[in-house]
Every structure is written in structure tokens, then in C-alpha cells.
Amino acid sequence: MWRLRAACPQWAGYTDTASAEHARVWALAREQGYAAVFNTAVTDLSRWGDVEQLEQAYLRPGCTAADNWRSRLRIALAYLRTLAFLHNTGSPEIVKVCTLGLLLTLHRHNPGVRATGTEANPFGRAVVLKDFKISQFLVSAQRHSLLAILGRVVSNGGPASCTPRGLSSLMRTFCHA
């Protein structure tokens, strides 16, 4: 079972970015060469804690070019799952890891998005609205596997673009690797 570090101060197990545990995990990521992966994802995802910005991200041409209603359905579902991820106030659970795949998909379609003010120190400043800190969605067990998967996903150019097969495949990877 995947276990995540709490990302919201209201959650049990919350780890502040200034804590030794946070520093230790990121040091491990750097040692294994995956820090850049998280750097990219965290920096670009941080602004989407705001619902309106999240909506705009999903309405970008890369995702909505097709008029096919099924394509739009996939966008709708990805949006809802991401919204659930961002607003989940419960305890860490597997769905958060799975939904990270959707976030990475979103990232791929918004390569130009940059969160102003977070680039100099994306980990320390990746604070999004509503107290969510995406950078703290760290796996506390089996993190090595997740790091490896993230590295593979990014090096392959990201998960399949907005397709249910691609998303399902990625979610299976996260859930069962």
C-alpha cells in the first residue's frame, strides 16, 4: 500500500517543508537523480490548487481541440479526479498516488505554465492556495518505486495524452507497481 506524506496542515502526519524529514526525503530524491522530476512537476502543479486556474488549465487547446464528446468526457473526469486530489482532506490513501498520474498528464499539456515565485526555490515555495503543498505529497514507503515510475513517465514524454487508456495504464502502474 502506498503511503503519502500529508500535504495539508490539517492532516495527520503533516510534514512542514522546513522539517528535517522533508529535507531528508528531498535529499534522497536528489541522490537518486529524481529531484528534477519533482522540481518540474511541483513547480507547474502548485498553481492549480486554485479551482479557476485548474479549470483554465483543462480548457487549454491541447486538451479540448477534439469535438468528440468522449474526448471531453475524459477531460471532465480528469478534472474531477484532480479536484478530488487537491481537496481531499482525508488521511493518505492510494487514490492520491493514482491521481498524481492525472496531474502529470495535466502537466504535460501545460508545459509552458510556470508558477511565478516558485522557480527559485520550488520546494520551499510550492505553497498553493488553501494550505495545500503539492511538494509534500511524498511517498513514505515504497518511495523508491514511485520515484522510478515518475522518472520513467517523464523521460517517456509523459503519459498518453488525455486518453482513458493512457490514464488507466498509468494509474495501474502507480497502484500495482
Partner 1 sequence: MPLAESDAELLEDVCHAPRFLRHVFAGTAAPSVVSAAIDGLQSACEAQGTMGLTADWMADQLIGAVEQAGQTLV
Q: Tell me: does residue 23 bind partner 1 (CB under 8 A).
A: no
Q: Least distance in Å: CB of 130 to partner 1? A: 7
| Residue window 91-130: x/- pattern of binding to partner 1, with contact defined by CB under 8 A | ----x----------------------------------x
Which 34-53 residues touch partner 1, going by CB under 8 A?
51-52
Query: What distance in Å separates the CA atoms of residue 140 and residue 150, rounded to the nearest whole number?
Result: 15
Which residues are paired to 4 by β-bridges? Answer: 139
Per DSSP, helices labelled H in the chain are 20-31, 35-45, 51-58, 61-64, 69-87, 94-108, 122-125, 143-155, 164-176
- Fill in the per-residue mask, 47 to 86: x = in contact with partner 1 (CB under 8 A), - = not in contact: ----xx--x--xx----x--xxxx-xxxxxx-xxx-xx--
Minimum CB separation of residue 77 from partner 1 in Å reads 5
Q: Please, what is the minimum distance in Å from the beta carbon of residue 79 to partner 1?
A: 7
Q: Which residues on adjacent β-strands are paired with residue 6? A: 14
**Residue 161 half-sphere exposure, CB side, CA atoms within 13 Å?**
12
Residues 122/13, Cβ–Cβ less than 8 Å: no
- The CB-of-44 to partner 1 minimum distance in angstroms stands at 20
Q: Which is nearer to partner 1, 68 or 156 (CB)?
A: 68
